[in-house]
Amino acid sequence: MSANPISFAFSCIFVIFAHSAMLVNVFINGSYESLTPVITLAAAVLFLDIAYFVIIPFFRQSSYTVDFLLLLILNMSVIFQSCFGGVRLSVKHYITVIAALAACRAGYLLCRNYKWIQRQRKYFYIGIGLLFIIILTLTGSRRMWISLGSITIQPSEFIKPLFILVCATSVTAQQKKHKILCFNVVYENLALWGLTAMICLLQWWCRDLGSLPTFLGIYISGFLFRICYPKAKLSKKTFILAGIVLLAAALAAMKFAPAYVQERLHVDIWSDTNGNGYQQSRALIGIANGGWFGKGPGNGYLCNIFAHDNDIVFATVCEEWGLLYALMMICVILIMLAIPLINPPRSYYHGTIAAGVCAAFTVQMALNIFGSCNMIPFTGVTIPFISSGGSSMMASGFMIGMLVAAQSPIFKESAPKQKKVKSMRRLAQ
C-alpha cells in the first residue's frame, strides 16, 4: 500500500470523478440513439478504474502518481475514441488500453533494479537486432507494418523503449576507456553511435521518416546525460562539434530528402485541399468548428476523414470536445512526464530513462499537434495514449512503466551476487 493512504484514496476518487464528469458530458451532449452504448461505455471505464486501483497496491511502489495520471489519460482516450462518429464502446481500443496497462507493469518490474538491469545490457542490443531482422524480412517491400489477418503490428515502435534502455544502461560504462592507436575509445559510445545510424537508415528504408525525430530526441537526451555523467568530461569542443554535425545533418536531410518528403515540406494546404493538404485543411476547419467547448461527443465531422483517430486525433478531439479540453488532455500527459522534476531520480540510469521517455513523448506530441495544425510538415506520428494503435499503445505503456521505475527504484544488489560475495569472503578467510 502507499506510504500515504489518504492521498492514495483521494487520488483514486478524483480520477473516477474526472472520468464521471466526462461520461455525464457524453450522456447530455453526446450523439447516440439508445442509452445502452453510453451505459456500456461508463461501466467499462469505471470498471477499469476500480480494477487498476485494486491491483497497483500489490506492486509496493513508493510513488503511484504516474500510475494515476496514466489511468486518467488512458480512460480519457477510451471515452474520446468511443465517441468518434457516435457513442459506442470502442472494444479494440479498450483492449489495447488494457494491454498498455499490462505493458506498464512489465516495464516497471523490468527496469526498477538498475544493478540487475545493467548486467542484461547485451539482451537489449540483441532485441533491437531481432527487431531489425523482423522489419527487414517480414514487413514486405519497404514498409513498417506486419499484417496478421485483421491485426497489423508496427515492430519499429518496440525499438523505442529498447533504445532508451540501451542509452540508460550504458551510461556508467563510459569510464571504461580503451586505447586504440592514439585514441581513447569507449566501446559503448561507439556502439550507441552505430545503433543510432542504423536506426536512421532503417527509418529511411521503411519510408517512416516521421519517427526519426523521436529517435533523435531520445539519442540527444541520452547524449546530454552522458556528458553530464561523472568523469565523462564535459567538453565545450565536443558540445559545439555535436551541434555543428547535427545542424549539417538536418540541412543535408532537407536538401537530399526523397521527393515525397520534399512535397510535404513545401505543400500549401489551401491550394491543394483535395491532395496533399486534404487531412490538414480538414483538421484546421474541424478545430475552428469545435471552438472552446466543442460540438459535443460524436457530433463532429472529422470522423469521416481518413486517420481521424490517430494522425489527426488532436483535431478530432478539438472538434468534439473543444480546444480547452484538448489542451488539458495534452497538459495531463505533460504533467505525467514532469513528475520526475517533483521527485527527482536518484541515479544516472533512472535519470536517463526519465529524460529519454520525456524526449520521445514530447517530440511525438509536437510532431502530431503542430503537424495537424500545419505549423510543421505533416508526419503521421501518433499522440501517445490518445491515438489508436496497439503497437504504439503497448510501447508507450512500457515506456511509462520505465518512468514509474524511475520513481520507485530498487538500489539493492540482487541475491545471487550477495551469495557470491559471501562465498568469496569465506574463501578469503
Partner 1 sequence: MNTLNLILCAVAAATLDICALVLILTAYSERRSCKKRWDKLTGTMELAEQSMTYPLVCDEILIGRHASADIRLPDISVSRYHAMLTVSNGVWVITDIGSKSGVFVNGNLIKQAVLRENDTINIGVRRLIFRRRSDSYVR
- What is the contact surface with partner 1 in residues (CB under 8 A)? 2-4, 7-8, 10-11, 14-15, 17-18, 21-22, 24-25, 28-29, 62-65, 68-69, 72, 76, 115, 172, 175, 228, 230-231, 233-234, 293-296, 321-322, 324-325, 328, 331-332, 335, 339, 342-344, 346-348, 407-408, 411-413, 418
Residues 152-158: contacts with CB within 8 Å, 24+ apart?
153/390, 153/391, 154/389, 154/391, 154/392, 155/131, 155/391, 156/131, 156/202, 156/203, 156/206, 156/208, 156/211, 157/391, 157/392, 157/394, 157/395, 158/131, 158/391, 158/394, 158/395
Q: Which of 160, 132, 128, 153 is nearest to 384 (CA)?
A: 160
Q: Rounded to the nearest whole angstrom, what is the least distance from the CB of residue 22 to partner 1 in the complex?
A: 6
* 202 vs 355, beta carbon nearer partner 1: 355
Would you give the distance in Å from CA 147 to the centre of its chain?
22
Among 82, 98, 102, 65, smallest CA distance to 19 is for: 82
Q: How far is the CB of 55 from partner 1 (least distance, A)?
A: 18
Give the nearest distance from C-beta 229 to partner 1 in angstroms: 8
CB of 61 to partner 1, least distance (A): 9
Q: Rounded to the nearest whole angstrom, what is the least distance from the CB of residue 64 to partner 1 in the complex?
A: 7
Cβ at position 62, least distance to partner 1 in Å: 5
* Residue with Cβ nearer partner 1 (210 or 222): 222
Work out the angle at residue 140's Cα, subtended by the Cα atoms of residues 138 and 145, and round it to the nearest 5 degrees.
75
Instruction: Note whether 402 and 117 are within 8 A (CB).
Output: no
Identify the helix (H) or strand (E) that includes residue 185: strand 183-185
Give min distance, CB of 149 to partner 1, in A.
38
Contact partners, residue 388, CB within 8 Å, separation at least 6: 81, 90, 92, 93, 96, 309, 310, 313
> Which of 11, 203 has the CB closer to partner 1?
11
Kindly tell me which of 27 and 278 has the beta carbon lying closer to partner 1. 27
Nearer to partner 1, 277 or 345 (CB): 345
Minimum CB separation of residue 174 from partner 1 in Å reads 12
| Gap between the Cα atoms of 130 and 140, Å rounded | 16
- CB of residue 4 to partner 1, shortest distance in Å: 5
Compute the chain's Rg from CA coordinates: 23
Beta carbons of 69 and 407 less than 8 angstroms apart:
no
Q: Quick one: 189 or 374, whose CB is closer to partner 1?
A: 189
Task: State the burial class of residue 411 (Cβ atoms within 10 Å of its Cβ: 0-12, 13-18, 19+).
Answer: exposed
- Between CA 154 and CA 428 the distance in angstroms is 53
Q: Considering beta carbons, is residue 40 or 347 the nearer one to partner 1?
A: 347
Question: Measured from the CB atom, is 3 or 197 closer to partner 1?
Answer: 3
Question: Judged by CB, which is closer to partner 1: 14, or 205?
Answer: 14
